[in-house]
Amino acid sequence: MHGDKPSTDSTHGTFQRGDEQIAYSAKHAGAVLDLSERTVQNLIANGRIRSFLEGRSRRISRRALEEYCRNREAESA
Domains held by the chain: number? 1
pTM comes to: 0.76
SS3 labels along the chain: CHHHCCEEECCCCEEEECCEEEEECHHHHHHHHCCCHHHHHHHHHCCCCCCEEECCEEEEEHHHHHHHHHHHHHHHC
Q: Is residue 45 part of a domain?
A: yes
pLDDT 10s per residue in the chain (77 long)? Answer: 445 555 555 445 566 766 689 999 999 999 999 999 999 999 999 999 999 999 999 999 999 999 999 999 999 98
Q: Is residue 12 part of a domain?
A: yes
CATH number at residue 54: 1.10.10
Q: Which domain holds residue 46?
A: 2-69
Q: Is residue 74 part of a domain?
A: no
Instruction: State the pLDDT at residue 9.
Output: 54
